[in-house]
């Protein structure tokens, strides 16, 4: 299995009110052997990082237009003169609205798309090889 990892550290903003947000250090991670998912780790003051995993396609689409429903929604916006991507995350433990710089998210996503082009994700899972091996028995 290919263990290529595409990572990027960046500072997100946790939006607490329309005119108030706080910085949240985060890491975006993409694993070639988990090709449909993106992982975001938030380093908050609790001492335990908070991890979220959702579809890479959701984040790719959310850079350009509102998408998602339920636990994860993503959409483009502006914060002053800056282009940002907003991510609304919801869980039984609470909800969060996060703001990420579009340029940094887009550059990282581009690297993930070069590592595993859209439409080739299933090839990375080795399902055909595994199925062939099972059927050969």
The rounded distance, in Å, linking the Cα atoms of 119 and 106 is 19
User: How far is residue 37's CA from residue 130's CA, in Å, rounded to a whole number?
Assistant: 21
Place of tokens 């636990």: 71
Q: What integer is the mean pLDDT of 15-32?
A: 93
**Span 42-91, pLDDT tens digits:** 887 767 888 999 999 999 999 999 999 989 999 999 988 999 999 999 98
- Residue 35's domain spans which residues? 5-136
User: Is 27 in a helix, a strand, or coil?
Assistant: strand
pLDDT at 2: 62
Provide the phi-psi class of 128: left if phi over 0, else alpha when psi is between -120 and 50, else beta.
Answer: alpha
The pLDDT score that the predictor gives to residue 129 is 64
- 44 contacts: CB under 8 Å, gap ≥ 6: 24, 50
* CB-CB contact of 37 with 54 (8 Å): yes
**Average pLDDT, stretch 10-26?**
93
Q: pTM for this structure?
A: 0.84
Q: Which two tokens stand for residue 97?
A: 């609205």
CA dist., res. 47 & res. 35, Å (int): 29
Q: Where residue 19 sits, what CATH number does that domain have? A: 2.30.31.20
Query: Domain total for the chain?
Result: 1
**Angle 18-19-23 (CA atoms, 0-180°, nearest 5)?**
100
């Amino acid at each position: 299995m290919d263990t290529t990892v595409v990572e990027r550290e960046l500072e997100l903003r946790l939006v607490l009110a329309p005119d108030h947000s706080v910085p949240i250090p985060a890491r975006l991670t993409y694993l070639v052997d988990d090709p449909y998912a993106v992982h975001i780790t938030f380093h908050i003051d609790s001492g335990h990082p908070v991890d979220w995993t959702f579809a890479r396609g959701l984040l790719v689409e959310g850079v350009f237009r509102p998408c998602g429903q339920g636990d994860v929604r993503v959409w483009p916006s502006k914060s002053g003169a800056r282009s940002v991507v907003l991510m609304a995350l919801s869980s039984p433990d609470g909800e969060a609205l996060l703001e990420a710089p579009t340029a940094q998210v887009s550059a990282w996503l581009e690297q993930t798309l070069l590592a595993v082009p859209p439409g080739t994700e299933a090839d990375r899972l080795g399902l055909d090889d595994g199925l062939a091996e099972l059927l050969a028995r």
